[in-house]
Chain A
Amino acid sequence: MIKKMAKKLFLLEIVKAMGLTFRMMLTRPVTRQYPDEKRPAFPGFRGLHALARREDGTPRCVGCGLCSAVCPSRCIHVYTSEGADHRKIVDGYDIEVLRCVYCGFCVEACPYKAVVLTEHFEYSDYTREALFMNKDKLLSNWDNYMAGAKGEEYHKRFWRPMSEDFKAHDDQAVFRGAKQKELSNAA
Chain B
Amino acid sequence: MPITNDMKTKNLTISMGPQHPATHGVLKVVLELDGESIVKCTPYVGYLHRGVEKLAESMTYLSALPLTDRLDYIASVCNNVGYCVAVERLFGIEVPERAKFIRTMTCEMARISSHILGVATHALDIGAMTVFLYSFRDRETLLDLFEMLCGARLTVSYPRIGGVRNDVTQEFLDKLYAFTDTFPATIEREYETLLNENRIWKQRTIGVGVITAEEAINWGMTGPNLRGSGVFYDIRKFAPYDAYDKVEFDVPLGKNGDVYDRYLCRMEEMKQSNRIIRQCIEQLPKGAIMAPDAPKFTLPPKDRVLADMESLIHQFVLITKGPIAAPEGELYASTEVPKGELGFYIISDGSGKPYRMRLRSPSFVHVSALPVLCRDAMVADFIANVGTIDIVLGECDR
A and B form one complex: yes
Q: Give complex CA distance A14, B144 in Å.
A: 33
Interface of A is mostly: loop
| B window 153-193: CB within 8 A of A | 155, 157, 163, 165-170, 172-175, 177-178, 181, 189-190, 193
Q: Given A158-B151, A162-B301 in contact, is the A173-B173 Cβ separation under 8 Å?
A: yes
Chain B at the A interface: SS class: helix
Given contacts A44-B151, A172-B286, contact A17 B312 (CB under 8 A): no
**How far does the Cβ of B328 sit from chain A's closest Cβ, in whole Å?**
24
CB distance from A98 to the nearest CB of B (A): 16
List residues of chain A with CB within 8 A of the CB of B130. 17, 21
| Contact of B177 with A111 in the complex, beta carbons under 8 Å | no
| A69 contacts across to B, CB distance below 8 A | 319-320
Cβ contact within 8 Å between A102 and B168: no
Cα A70 to Cα B174 in complex, Å, equals 34
* Complex alpha-carbon distance, A73 and B155, angstroms: 14
- Please determine whether B302 and A173 come into contact, CB atoms closer than 8 angstroms: no
Q: Which residues of B contact A183 (CB under 8 A)?
A: 174, 178
Interface flag for A55 (CB, 8 Å) = no
From A109, A111, A180, contact of B174 by CB (8 A)? A180
Stretch of A89-97, A133-141, A163-171 on the interface side:
A163-171
Residues of A within 8 Å of B194, CB to CB, are 17, 20
Contact A66 B315 (CB under 8 A): yes
Q: A109 contacts which of B59, B137, B157, B319 (Cβ < 8 Å)?
A: B319
A184-B174, A187-B178 given; A44·B292 CB < 8 A: no
Give, as a whole number of angstroms, the nearest-CB distance from B141 to chain A.
Answer: 9
State whether B66 touches A111 (Cβ < 8 A). Answer: no
Shortest Cβ gap from B131 to chain A (Å): 10
> Residue on B with the closest CB to A172?
B286
Q: How many Å lie between the Cα of A30 and that of B186 in the bound state?
A: 15
For this complex, into which size category does the number of interface residues on chain A fall? 35 or more
B298 interface contact, C-beta 8 A: yes
Residues of B near A46 (CB, < 8 A) are 151-152
Residue of B nearest to A110 (CB): B302
| Complex-state Cα separation, A157 to B168, whole angstroms | 10
B63 touches A172 (CB 8 A): no
- Residues on B with C-beta less than 8 A from A166 are 288, 290, 292, 301
Partner of B66, one of A13, A72, A112, A175: A72
Give chain A nearest CB distance to B64 CB in angstroms: 7
Kindly list chain A residues whose C-beta atoms are within 8 Å of the C-beta of B303: 162-163
Chain B residue with Cβ nearest A20: B193
Q: Does A42 contact B (CB under 8 A)?
A: yes
Task: State whether A173 and B172 are in contact (beta carbons under 8 Å apart), knowing that A72-B66, A161-B302 are contacts in the complex.
Answer: yes
Let me know if B147 and A42 touch, CB within 8 A.
yes
* 8 A-B contact pairs sorted by A residue (CB < 8 Å): A72-B67, A103-B65, A111-B305, A157-B166, A165-B290, A167-B292, A187-B174, A187-B178
Using a CB–CB cutoff of 8 Å, the interface residues on chain A facing chain B are 8, 11, 13-14, 16-17, 20-21, 24, 30, 41-42, 44-46, 66, 69-73, 101-105, 108-109, 111-112, 117, 157-163, 165-170, 172-176, 180, 183-185, 187
Q: Hey, which bits of chain B sit against chain A, CB under 8 A?
A: 59-60, 62-67, 69-70, 98, 130, 134, 137, 140, 144, 147-148, 150-152, 155, 157, 163, 165-170, 172-175, 177-178, 181, 189-190, 193-194, 197-199, 281-290, 292, 298-306, 312, 315-316, 319-320
